[in-house]
Amino acid sequence: MPNKIRSLSSIIKLLIYPMVVGLVVLNIGTRTASSVENLRELDASKIEGALATASSHADELITSKITFLDTLAHNIEYNKLFDNKTYFNEYLASIPGSMPDVDSVYYWCFDTLTSYHSHYTVPAADWDATSRPWYIQTEGVRGTVITDPYVHSNGNMITSIARRIYDGNKEVGILVANVSIESLIQVVRDIEASEESLYALVVDENLNILMHPDNDWIPTSDNIHNLLNTQANFTNALQAPEGETTINTNLYGAEISVIKRSIPNTDWIILSNYPTKYVEQAIGSILLQGLVTAIGAIALCSFAIARITKTYLSPIDEVSQALTQISQGNLKYDLANINRNSEEIDNLTNSLTKLSASLNNYIGEIGTTLDHYAEGDFTKQPTQNYLGDFSQIKTSLTNISSSLKQLLSSTITSTNQMNQAVSNINLSASNLASESATQSNLLENFREDTKQVATSINNNVNKLNTNNQTIIQMAETANQSKEVTDQLVNSMNNISSSTQDIQNVIKLIEDIASQTNLLALNAAIESARAGESGKGFAVVAGEVRELSNKTTEIVQQIFNMINNNLESIKEGEQMVKLTEQTLSNIIIASNETKDSSQEVHQNAVEQTQLLNQLTKDIEYLTTGISHNTAIAEENLLTAEELSTQTTALKEQMNKFKI
C-alpha cells in the first residue's frame, strides 16, 4: 500500500515544530547545564572553603607546636638543662602559660627513669613510660613526632608532640608536650554552624574518627569510632587525589560530596562534605522552570504557525481540491470561491480556470469524435484549434482515423482470404480424418497378424526346446556307449593276449608230444634189440607213441581252433575300433547338433521378444493414430466453426464506413 502524502501545512508544521522545539530545548538545556555546573562549583567552593578553614587551623596548630617543641628541645640541648634537675623542672613549669593550647610539658630522663612535669605531677609507681605512644613513635627517630589524639584525664582531647633529647650523640631523655586540640574541634563545629549540613571530620590513617561536630562520634576514654564499622563509605574520597570532589556516603547513610586534605606532619585526613540532595533539589527546580518555559515557547510558536498556515496555505488547499476534482473528471468545478489573497494564488487560480475550460472543450470534441468511431463511422475529423501540447491529441485522433481505415480495409480483404483458406482447411481436415481412420484399421489388422506370428514362433520355440532336450539325451547316451566300447576294446585286447598265451602253451605241449613220440620210437627200437625180454616194453612204448600221436593231433586241432579264434578276435577288434570311431563321430555330431539347436532356440526366443516389442510398438502407434484421428475430427469441427465465424466477421466488417 503506497504511503499517504502529507499536506503542505502538515509538512511545514512537521519541519518547523521540531526546529522550534529543538532550539527551545537546546537553549533551556544549555542554561540548565550551566546552572547545574554553577551549583556544583558553588557546592565545591563551600566544601573547599570549609576544608581550607579546618586545614589552615590544623596546620597552624600543629606547625606552631612543632616549632615550639623544636625550639624548646634545642634550648635544652644547647644549655644542657637536663643536668640541673631543679632548675629544669621550674623551667618546664613556666612554659604552659606562655604557649596557647599547650596543656603540659614533661621530660622523661633515661638515666634516672624519672619524669619532670610542668605541673610537678608524679606518675604512679606502675606507670610505664616505654608503653606510651610518644616513647614508641620516637624510638629510632631523630625528629619530632605527633601521636594520635586521645582523651586526657581532665576530659580534654589532646595530642602529644614528642622529641628525643641528645647530649651529643647520646639519647638522654624524651621531651613531650601535651597539646589540646579542642580549638581544632571547635573549628570543625564552627564549620557546621556556618552552613546548614556543611561539616568536616578528621580521621587517621586507620580511619579512626578523631574529630567530628557531633559529640556522639567524638572519641572517649572507653571508645573510638572507626569508619569501617559504620554505614559510611568514603572509599571514593580516600582513593581520589586531594582537592577532587567525589560522591560518598556519610555516617547517616546520606549521599554527600566530599573533598579530602591531609594535615602536614601527621597521618590525619580532613574530610569536608556537603549533602548532594540540596544540589539535586536545585537542579530539579531549574529543570521545572525550563520545562514550563519550553511549554510556553512551544505553545506560542504553535499558535503563530497555525495562524500563518490558515491565512496563506488554505488557498493552496482549495486549489489542490479543485485540481483533485478536475483529475477525477469534474471539469465544471466552481473556482470562484478560492481566496485570492496573493499574486501567486491569483495567477494559479486564473491558469486553473483556463485549463478547466480548455479541457472541457477538448474532451467534448474528443467524446463526439469517439462516438462516431464507436458507431463505425471513421470519416469524422476534429475541427478545434488545440493549443500547445494538446495539438498532439488532434494529430493522434487524425492518425487513429487513418490507421483504422487502413486496418479495416486490410481486415476486410484478409477476411475474404481467410474465408477461402478456411474452406480449404475444412476440406483438408475432412480428408485427414478419413485417411487417419483407414490407417488405424490397417494397423489394427497388422497388429493381429503380428500377434499370430508371435504365437506360432512361441510354439516353435517350445518344440525346439523339447528337441534340444532329446539331442542332449542322445549326446549323453553316445558318450556312455563310447565308454562301454572302450571297455569292450580293453576286454578284446585281454582275450587276444590270453589266447596268445594259450597258443604258446599248446605249442609247448606239441613239442613235448613230439619228444615223447621220439622217446617211444627209441624205446621200441631198444625193445626190438632186447628181443623177447623187450616185448612188454615195446607194447608200452607203442601205447605211449600212439598216445603221443593222438596228443599231437588234438593239440593241432586246438591250435587250429585258437588260430581261428585269434582271427575272429582281430576282426572283432577292428569292428570295435570302427564302432568306437563311429560313436566318436556320433558324439561330435550330437554336440554340434545340440549347439545348433540351442542357437536356434536362442534366436527363436529373441525373435519372439522382438515380435512382442513390435506388437507393443504397433499398439502404441495404433493409439497415436487413433489420437490423430480424434484430433483430425476435432480439427474438422474447428474448421467448420471457423468457417461460420469467418462468415459472421465478414458480415460485421461490412457495417463500417471508411
297 in a domain, yes or no?
A: no
Boundary-marking domain end, from 275, 301, 335: 275
**Residue written as grid cell 475529423:** 381
pTM above 0.85, yes or no: no
- Does residue 48 contact residue 259 with C-beta atoms inside 8 Å? yes
DSSP string, 13-42: HHHHHHHHHHHHHHHHHHHHHHHHHHHHHH
User: Which of 223, 212, 225, 221 has its CA nearest to residue 186?
Assistant: 212
306 in a domain, yes or no?
A: no
DSSP string, 397-449: HHHHHHHHHHHHHHHHHHHHHHHHHHHHHHHHHHHHHHHHHHHHHHHHHHHHH
Q: How many CB atoms lie within 10 A of CB 3?
A: 5
Boundary-marking domain end, from 275, 303, 336: 275
DSSP letter assigned to residue 243: T
Pairing status of strand 157-167 against strand 150-151: antiparallel
450 in a domain, yes or no?
A: yes
Taking 50 as the pLDDT cut, the residues of the chain under it are: 1-2
pLDDT (0 to 100) of residue 1: 44
pLDDT (0 to 100) of residue 60: 81
- Does residue 628 contact residue 492 with C-beta atoms inside 8 Å? no
Pairing status of strand 102-109 against strand 144-146: unpaired
Asked if residue 643 and residue 504 are part of one domain, the reply reads yes
CA atoms of 342 and 347, how far apart (whole Å): 9
pLDDT (0 to 100) of residue 173: 92
**Residue written as grid cell 613230439:** 514
CA atoms of 618 and 446, how far apart (whole Å): 8
Boundary-marking domain end, from 240, 275, 310: 275
3-state secondary structure of 344: helix
Find all residues with CB under 8 Å of 188, minimum gap 6, and list them: 54, 199, 200, 201, 202, 211, 212, 213
Q: Which residue range forms the structural domain that includes residue 213?
A: 28-275
What angle, rounded to 10 degrees, do the helices at 8-79 and 277-308 form? Answer: 160
Asked if residue 245 and residue 105 are part of one domain, the reply reads yes
How open is the CA angle 550-555-557, to the nearest 5 degrees? 95
What angle, rounded to 10 degrees, do the helices at 343-374 and 314-327 form? Answer: 10
**Number of domains the chain is built from:** 2
CA atoms of 125 and 115, how far apart (whole Å): 12
633 in a domain, yes or no?
A: yes
SS (H, E, C) 105-160: EEEEECCCCEEEECCCCCCCCCCCHHHCHHHHHHCCCCCEEECCCEECCCCCEEEE
The H or E element that residue 292 is part of is helix 277-308
4 in a domain, yes or no?
A: no
What angle, rounded to 10 degrees, do the helices at 535-653 and 391-530 form? Answer: 170
Helices marked H in 335-390 — which ranges?
343-374
Q: How many CB atoms lie within 10 A of CB 334?
A: 9
pLDDT (0 to 100) of residue 49: 74
Amino acid at 51: L
pLDDT (0 to 100) of residue 655: 64
322 in a domain, yes or no?
A: no
CB-based contacts of 63-70 (< 8 A; 24+ apart in sequence): 63/264, 63/265, 65/99, 65/101, 65/102, 65/161, 65/177, 65/179, 66/144, 66/146, 66/161, 66/265, 68/99, 68/102, 68/177, 69/144, 69/161, 69/162, 69/163, 69/175, 69/177, 70/144, 70/163
**Residue written as grid cell 491569483:** 346
**Residue written as grid cell 557531633:** 214
Give the up-direction half-sphere exposure of residue 594: CA atoms within 13 A in the CB hemisphere.
15
3-state secondary structure of 263: coil
**Residue written as grid cell 579264434:** 565
CA distances from 407 to 120, 161, 375, 651 (A): 145, 128, 16, 16
Could you give the dihedral angle defined by the CA atoms of residues 387, 390, 391 and 392, in that order, rounded to the nearest 10 degrees? 160
DSSP letter assigned to residue 272: E
Asked if residue 213 and residue 75 are part of one domain, the reply reads yes
Phi, psi of 381 (to 5 degrees): -130, 145
CATH of the domain at 420: 1.10.287.950
CA 436 to chain CA centroid, nearest Å: 64
pLDDT (0 to 100) of residue 5: 63
3-state secondary structure of 102: strand
SS (H, E, C) 557-572: HHHHHHHHHHHHHHHH
CA atoms of 160 and 147, how far apart (whole Å): 5
298 in a domain, yes or no?
A: no
CA 428 to chain CA centroid, nearest Å: 67
CA atoms of 520 and 538, how far apart (whole Å): 9
Max CA distance (Å), the chain: 219
The H or E element that residue 209 is part of is strand 209-211
CATH of the domain at 188: 3.30.450.20
380 in a domain, yes or no?
A: no
